[in-house]
Structure 1
Amino acid sequence: MLTKEELLEAPEADYMNEAQIAFFKATLEQLRQDTMDSIEAAKQTLANPPEHNDDADRAAYEEESRLALRIVDRERKLLPKIEAAMRRIATGDFGYCLESGEPIGIPRLLLRPTAELCAEVKAINERRESAYRDA
């Protein structure tokens, strides 16, 4: 299995070769498992609230629960993105921008293995969204 350093040092001609695909497939599988484990742990924690005799303890627990629910919601939204990335691996499209077809790049994929767009297209889309939001 390749290391992150080896991925970053690889020549551009090796982009999305078998070893790189295997690395990202394993990364995505681990991310999926970690995400599912985190969601399950949060569910267990929320399902068994401790007894609180003090209003301050109860308020602190409610705030922690609210934060845990937000994290679970974000992680729940991550699962379909992981599945989509796994499908792109299966079809041979992983690592390439869905809009431009250009390589997304190893550094970006290491930070966000579920990335669908190259940095340039993502930046353009974000500027458009910002312009529409401000209008």
Structure 2
Amino acid sequence: MAETEKKGARSLGFEPYAIAQDEEYMNADQEEHFRGLLLEWKRQLMEEVDRTVHHMQDEATNFPDPNDRATQESEFSLELRTRDRERKLIRKIDEALERIDDHDYGYCEACGVEIGVRRLEARPTATLCIDCKTLDEIREKQRG
């Protein structure tokens, strides 16, 4: 197993799932593993949102110097863009949690094959298998 695959789950405080021989794909144990991983990721993102709000409230100062004001506005703008990306990620996490509840999690939306435990640990919100994702990226490049 590649070190980057291990890092995905470990960065969220999880050990990679130990797949037993002849274990059924996306059984209750695997679903629970990914539910915990997704909920922890969402919790961490929500903490970042709270920190940003507090930081912006605490740091909001009306500097008399236009350069200082511009610097602060740039920093706030960057933080808000980051939080917007995280807000979209939280939505994807919620959608993944719904797929777990519906027992559809871990299967490619395009072709229906198993996405794979290791790919899901690296990218828990994945909705496409690696082959369909590769084709999708090729098509995207061709469109410009």
Band the TM-score falls in, shorter-chain normalisation: 0.7 to 0.9
SS at match of 1:14: coil
| Correspondence for 2:130 | 119
SS at match of 1:4: coil
Residue 79 of structure 1 pairs with residue 84 of structure 2: no
Residue 95 of structure 1 pairs with residue 118 of structure 2: no
> Alignment length, in residue pairs?
130
SS at match of 1:128: helix
| Correspondence for 1:26 | 36
Equivalent-residue separation in structure 2 for 1:14 and 1:132 (angstroms) = 39
Query: How high is the TM-score relative to the length of structure 1?
Result: 0.82
Give a deviation string over 1:61-119, Cα, whole Å, max 9, x none: 23321220111110111122111101110111111111111111112111111111111
Taking CA–CA contacts closer than 8 Å with sequence separation of 6 or more, which of the two structures ends up with the larger relative contact order? Answer: 2
SS at match of 2:32: helix
Equivalent-residue separation in structure 2 for 1:129 and 1:62 (angstroms) = 34
| Correspondence for 2:79 | 68
| Correspondence for 2:120 | 109
Q: CA deviation at 1:52?
A: 3.8
SS at match of 2:50: helix
Sequence identity (%): 36
**Structure 1: gaps of 5 or more residues:** none
One-letter code aligned to 1:39:
V
**Structure 2: gaps of 5 or more residues:** 1-13
Bigger shift: residues 34-43 or 54-63: 54-63
One-letter code aligned to 2:86:
E
- Segments of 4+ in structure 1 off by > 3 A? 8-14, 50-60
Residue 16 of structure 1 pairs with residue 17 of structure 2: no
Q: CA deviation at 1:11?
A: 3.5
